[in-house]
Amino acid sequence: MRTSPLDAWLAERIGAAPGPEALAFWQGQALRRTLAWARERSPFYARSLAGIDPASVGLEDLDQLPRTAAGDLRDNDGQFLCVSRDDIARVVTLHSSGTTGPAKRSHFTAQDLAATREFFRVGMATFAGPGSRVLILLPAERPDSVGDLLARSLEDLGATGIRHGLVADPSAAARSLAESGADCVVGLPVQVLSLARGPHAALVPSGQVKSALLVSDHVPRAVVRAVEDAWGCRAYSHWGMTETGLGGGVECAARDGYHLREADLLVEVTDPDTGRALPPGETGEVVFTTLSRRGMPLIRYRTGDLAAWRVGPCPCGSVLRRLGPVRGRVGGAANLGHGQRLGICDLDEALFPLPGVLDFSARLGGSARAGLLCVRLHVVPGTEAETQARAAAALDDLAAPLRAAGARLDLAVGCGARPGNGKRTLDDQRAR
């Protein structure tokens, strides 16, 4: 098993073998440069970092720096800019589901986008190379969109990126996969699952797909296993979001945690309340600081993702730390009483192992005393009755605290996959 290709990339970027000490030294210098740049150029950080001397800040002082929240970015995106708008090459707008307020906007210079493309090239080298054909199920229509950047990075590897776009029609995407002869698929977890498990899965010849990369902030392990079982391939996970610069971290051949984009991002796992760093193995909120971004640097940005540092070295041989899988969102788990909590990750691992499930939505309704867990399954046509019975059994333990309080489970089934944007939450609408 070879070391993650990110190790060699880091060595080139920092000018030294990428051990923990050399990396920490380099990141400390990059952090001070970022703080000075942001404080001088960004109106938001001029206020936020007032009274802080960037030259005196080290990695051990991170918890003394203020954190940046998603709401800050929604309300003040122009205040984060450190360059003129003429120097911005791409603006990505993110509309949060279920809200009517302003959208988040992330601004990138051409230099920032080039850094993302470089990370994609290196990260994809684990499962793609010269001659590979990669079906890209991500937005790719616009120049410098995430799918376009990925396709161009694959060209640098000698591979071919096939720009399909997000899956709006699973049958059309399955035909595109079959006709293109792609041996690798990149896309959102549930959308890739719709091709591997859905009613048109038979269109794809057995053994064609050798690898898949599932891209999201949270990749259900059950979906990884389902894709592998359906296609007989190896599936990998990528963690990231628009705010990280579209790329954040990717699994190596060992698939034991995310190797991070540490030349561009300084990542922390912190106590959500205090912002203090947590030791390996302890779950907390993932916070990051950009180290190379010119257009819109972010300092201690709160992702809301809950994860933990992996304990011990990676089986691939890398000595660098790895981020474990995202286990939920800060405040995203509902309190069911009796010491029990329920989040979307719990439902993922209960429902996606069922062979008929393509996707689902979930909502808690009723009152705090007499709740109602409403789950709407989207299943392979012809499996409705069987999948509903299996789902009821799978949810039995999770719904037990609700039943103990006099609540009930409402389970409904519909056919076919529904196009999703990758953001899946348990909607808690209980009256208090």
Per-residue DSSP letters for 213-279?
EEESS---HHHHHHHHHHHT-EEEEEE--GGGTS--EEE-TT-SSEEE-TTTEEEEEE-TTT--B--
> Is it the case that residue 430 has pLDDT exceeding 70?
no
How much is the pTM?
0.92
Task: State how far the Cα of 44 lies from the Cα of 48, in Å rounded to an integer.
Answer: 6
Calculate what percentage of the chain has a pLDDT beyond 90.
Answer: 73
Helix (H) or strand (E) holding 88: strand 88-94
- R_g of the chain computed on alpha carbons: 22
Task: Sketch out the chain's domains with CATH numbers.
Answer: 5-113+242-307 (3.40.50.12780), 334-428 (3.30.300.30)
Residues 6+ apart with CB under 8 A from 173: 137, 164, 167, 191, 194, 195
Pairing state between β 357-366 and 426-428: parallel
Q: Is the pLDDT of residue 421 over 70?
A: no
pLDDT tens-digit profile of 18-47? 889 999 999 999 999 999 999 999 999 999
pLDDT in tens, 140-188: 999 999 999 999 999 999 999 999 999 999 999 999 999 999 999 999 9
pLDDT tens digits, one per residue of 238-256: 999 999 999 999 999 999 9
Is 300:48 a contact under the CB 8 Å cutoff?
A: no
Q: Please compute the mean of the pLDDT values over residues 277-305 and round it to a whole number.
A: 97
Q: Both tokens of residue 65?
A: 């720096």
Q: Label residue 339 by pLDDT band (50, 70, 90).
A: low
